[in-house]
Amino acid sequence: MSEPFQRTLAPFYCPYCGEETLRPAAQPTGAWHCDSCLRIFELHFHGVSTYRESEAATW
Protein backbone atom coordinates (compact mmCIF):
# COMPACT_ATOMS: atom_id res chain seq x y z
CA MET A 1 0.00 0.00 0.00
CA SER A 2 1.35 3.42 -0.92
CA GLU A 3 1.75 6.36 1.40
CA PRO A 4 -0.91 9.06 1.16
CA PHE A 5 0.08 11.91 -1.17
CA GLN A 6 1.70 14.67 0.81
CA ARG A 7 2.90 17.92 -0.69
CA THR A 8 4.77 20.67 1.07
CA LEU A 9 2.84 23.90 0.82
CA ALA A 10 4.94 27.06 0.68
CA PRO A 11 3.32 30.33 1.74
CA PHE A 12 4.31 33.56 0.00
CA TYR A 13 3.34 35.80 2.91
CA CYS A 14 2.98 35.42 6.66
CA PRO A 15 -0.77 35.06 7.40
CA TYR A 16 -0.33 37.07 10.61
CA CYS A 17 1.80 40.09 9.67
CA GLY A 18 1.87 39.91 5.85
CA GLU A 19 5.66 40.01 5.56
CA GLU A 20 7.64 37.77 3.20
CA THR A 21 10.35 36.89 5.72
CA LEU A 22 9.44 33.21 5.91
CA ARG A 23 11.69 30.21 6.21
CA PRO A 24 11.10 26.59 7.12
CA ALA A 25 10.99 26.14 10.90
CA ALA A 26 13.35 23.69 12.58
CA GLN A 27 10.46 22.22 14.56
CA PRO A 28 7.83 21.06 14.03
CA THR A 29 8.60 19.51 10.65
CA GLY A 30 6.66 21.22 7.87
CA ALA A 31 6.10 24.41 9.85
CA TRP A 32 7.12 27.92 8.77
CA HIS A 33 8.87 30.58 10.83
CA CYS A 34 8.29 34.29 10.26
CA ASP A 35 11.36 36.39 11.03
CA SER A 36 9.24 39.56 11.30
CA CYS A 37 6.65 38.54 13.91
CA LEU A 38 8.43 35.38 15.15
CA ARG A 39 5.31 33.23 14.74
CA ILE A 40 5.60 29.58 13.77
CA PHE A 41 2.68 28.15 11.82
CA GLU A 42 1.68 25.28 9.56
CA LEU A 43 -0.43 25.10 6.41
CA HIS A 44 -2.88 22.29 5.82
CA PHE A 45 -4.66 21.27 2.67
CA HIS A 46 -7.99 19.66 3.54
CA GLY A 47 -9.28 18.75 0.10
CA VAL A 48 -11.29 20.14 -2.77
CA SER A 49 -14.80 21.39 -2.20
CA THR A 50 -17.73 20.72 -4.50
CA TYR A 51 -19.52 23.69 -3.03
CA ARG A 52 -19.39 27.31 -4.25
CA GLU A 53 -20.76 30.04 -2.03
CA SER A 54 -21.93 31.93 -5.14
CA GLU A 55 -24.25 29.01 -5.95
CA ALA A 56 -25.70 28.79 -2.45
CA ALA A 57 -29.35 29.55 -1.97
CA THR A 58 -30.07 32.97 -0.53
CA TRP A 59 -32.45 33.30 2.37
Minimum separation from the CB atom of position 30 to Zn ion (A): 17
CB of 20 to Zn ion, least distance (A): 9
Residue closer to Zn ion (CB basis): 37 or 43? 37
Q: What residues make contact with Zn ion under the rule CB under 5 A?
A: 14, 16-17, 34, 36-37
Q: Which is nearer to Zn ion, 11 or 16 (CB)?
A: 16
Vertex 4 angle, CA 50 and 34, to 5°: 80
- Roughly how many angstroms between the first and final C-alpha of the chain, as a whole number? 47
Largest CA distance in the chain: 48
- Beta-carbon neighbour count of residue 23 at 10 Å? 9
Please say which residue, 23 or 52, places its beta carbon nearer to Zn ion.
Answer: 23
